[in-house]
Amino acid sequence: MGIDLSRFKVIHGGMVLNAIALMEVRMPDDMDYSNRDTIVKPRFIEVLAINEDGNIISIRDEAWTFQFVPNITKFTQEITK
């Protein structure tokens, strides 16, 4: 399994979905790991999410097309425990 994103909603293509996990990250092909900037944005990512029908879907696209926002109700519930 990938990195847990269940505390986030993912916005992609005008849809707001409940995120499950970050499954894959692809960095730029020409990235020089020995001499690189501190912050490098990934090129592609794959995210598992739950669609409006309740089905698990996989979305793989350029990283800039995704936006992640905290799921406030779930975050608030965890703090108050």
Predicted model pTM = 0.78
pLDDT tens-digit readout, 39-58:
788 999 999 999 999 999 99
Q: pLDDT tens-digit profile of 10-23?
A: 999 999 999 999 99
Closest-CA residue to 14 (of 51, 55, 56, 58): 51
- Interatomic CA distance for residues 57 and 67, integer angstroms: 16
Beta strands in the chain (DSSP E): 3-4, 8-12, 15-26, 44-50, 56-62, 66-70
Map out the domains of the chain as residue ranges: 3-29+37-79
Topology of the domain covering 3-29+37-79: SH3 type barrels. (2.30.30)
For residue 76, the model assigns a pLDDT of: 58
Q: For the segment 34-43, what is each residue's pLDDT rounded down to a tens digit?
A: 776 677 889 9
CB 69 within 8 A of CB 11: yes
